[in-house]
Amino acid sequence: MSLFLYSIVSVVVVLGIMIVVHEFGHFAAAKYFGVRVEVFSVGFGKRLLGFTRGETDYRISALPFGGYVKMAGENPMEARTGDPGEFMSHPRWQRFIIALAGPFMNIVLAIALLTGVFMVHHEVLTFLGGPPVIKKKSPNSPAERSGLKAGDQIARVDTVQNPTWEDVYTRILLSPNHPLDLAIRRGDESLTKSITPEQHGGEGPGETGLAPASRLVVNQLIEGLPAATSGVKVGDEIKAVDGVPVLSTEALKSYFKSVQGREVTLSGLRNGAPFSVKLKPVWDTQDNEFHAGFVQNPYKIEKLPFGRALQESVTANRKLSGLILELVKKMVEQKVSIKAMDGPISIAKYSGEAARQEGWTPLMQLMAGISLNLGIFNLLPIPILDGGLILLLFIEGLMRRDISQPVKERIYQVAFVCLVLFAGVVIFNDVMKLLPVHRIQ
């Protein structure tokens, strides 16, 4: 199946699940409080198919990107009849819970999905929680231009003291084209540096060219190549080549190139004991470099019990929530371009790519991220969204009276126009990302 077909099928399934879960939250809360639900729709526009049970029409509609639950008396532009089954006939705290239930269910789904993934395949970059000691910097990168050196330790990034690599990468990601202040420990010296993450093509996350210092551990051997035939084993930690310390496969390949592929001695630790082997690197015509034939994977993979998986899932979702909210804040402050947002076309592309990967965990992780984004986005205080309704209910609670119908009508009309324009810009950016001219720039 082509990537296009994978993308279409995957995005329909992914967004369909997200929408059903979100709207079920509203539906269940409304039913619990006795609000009459007239329509439960997956999609917008013309009704394609469905069935009616009780007072509710369950339907699939023509436009698949979205969905809604229509409750009696919910529309502020409709006149009230006083029917106890109408949304507006219920106290504000019940309306608040009904509005909150949709985003809440999306957040619960994100936690549940990641919990399941972590019970099967918990993948962690081993260096992320460690101190940010710089291993290397890419040539002509912001890191090189800022004067950072291998062995430097970042003691502060922006306002974060004693950060981990995860903290450093998060600040870099959220600061494209904006300088970041760094406090550096270099031996006994304390230095202050400034680094400005760059964007490729004027969009996307910031990048600096920094790479962490980490252990060079063999995770995979390629059959028939020098490492496998010379006696290197999975789990070996390579410390040096010909007595020269190395910290990465890149450094190793650079040494191979400097000696033009002659026989070298690799030394390191095997189960805590020293070892050494001799091998002759081979030339890779595809990558135009020498290599030994092993793979260094910086990931640690484990299966977590339910309790720990749930805890890790809650932690991961909490961190991602903070990242999303900070990204929104920086977009409002115009420190991050709206081009950083992905729309339905990009979601379809990512869904297709995830669906084609081996196993089900990549797609589940993507679904968890989308579900969390959907939950948080709907909580933003924008009229028409659930967060807008919650905000109006909060204001009415402080006023101890309802906002007048004409005012509500104007608020919703303006918000609707703004939301349509926003969606149009996001979709336009999505389309531009697919065009060859855009990629060349």
Point out the residues that are catalytic. Answer: 23
Local structure of 373: helix, strand or coil: helix
Using an 8 Å Cβ cutoff, are 429 and 338 in contact?
yes
- Which residues are CB-contacts of 267 (< 8 A; sequence separation ≥ 6)? 238, 239, 240, 241, 243, 274, 275, 276
Helices 344-356/3-32 angle, 10° precision: 110
How far is Cα 283 from Cα 285, in angstroms, rounded to an integer?
6
How far is Cα 138 from Cα 168, in angstroms, rounded to an integer?
17
Using an 8 Å Cβ cutoff, are 210 and 137 in contact?
yes
How far is Cα 345 from Cα 337, in angstroms, rounded to an integer?
18
Residue recorded with tokens 């805590």? 272
- Residue 334 backbone class (left: φ over 0; alpha: ψ -120 to 50; beta: rest): left
| Of residues 155, 154, 142, 149, the one with CA closest to residue 197 | 142
How far is Cα 118 from Cα 83, in angstroms, rounded to an integer?
48
The helix/strand count (H/E) of the chain reads as 12, 20
